[in-house]
Amino acid sequence: MQVKDTMCTEVKTCTPDTPVKDIATIMCFNKISGLPVVDEDNNVVGIVSEKDILCSMFPDMQELVESGSKPDFEDMEKDYSSVLGKTVDDLMTRVVATVSPDMPILRAASIMWLRKIRRIPVTENNKLVGILSMGDVHKAVFQESLLVKT
């Protein structure tokens, strides 16, 4: 089974200049945890996740250790609105692993497992053509196993 047999082709995306407030809204309302970041030619230039948004709220732990301060997590939570004023470019991960549509799905899953990610953009010539999640892989393998005659 190949990635193209399982990937989702209706992918919600954003651009580097998209406000974080907009992507947070998309993520919450669509129950997704990340979006590929594309340029005007649909080239993948990054990825942004809920983890990127939340991690931007945390102070630099090295600075905290050196200063001897204790973080006030309740106060940090109140500061979420300042994160919403940023753009995707401020938070996105720029080095993005991708897979091709013709790759076997378990090979794609192994890349996700090694990189500790739950979704991976599917590209052809760096152009976004879909996205594959661990859930997609699991569902496909499960369905395939049901079709096997016993």
Digits of tens for pLDDT over the chain (150 positions)? 999 999 999 999 999 999 999 999 999 999 998 999 999 999 999 999 988 888 777 656 666 667 777 766 666 666 666 777 889 999 999 999 999 999 999 999 999 999 999 999 999 999 999 999 999 999 998 888 887 655
CB 144 within 8 A of CB 120: no
Nearest to 135 by CA among 97, 109, 116: 109
Q: What is the pLDDT of residue 150?
A: 52
CB 109 within 8 A of CB 134: yes
**69 C-beta neighbours (distance < 10 Å), count:** 10
Q: What is the residue range of 58's domain?
A: 3-147
Counted domains in the chain:
1
Q: What is the pLDDT of residue 37?
A: 97
pTM more than 0.85:
no
Q: What is the pLDDT of residue 61?
A: 60
Distance of CA 104 to the CA centre of its chain: 20
Q: What is the pLDDT of residue 144?
A: 81
- Count Cβ atoms within 10 A of the Cβ of residue 37 and give its class: 0-12 exposed, 13-18 middle, 19 or more buried: buried
2: Cβ contacts below 8 Å, ≥ 6 apart: 101, 102, 103, 104, 105
For position 89, which CATH number holds? 3.10.580.10
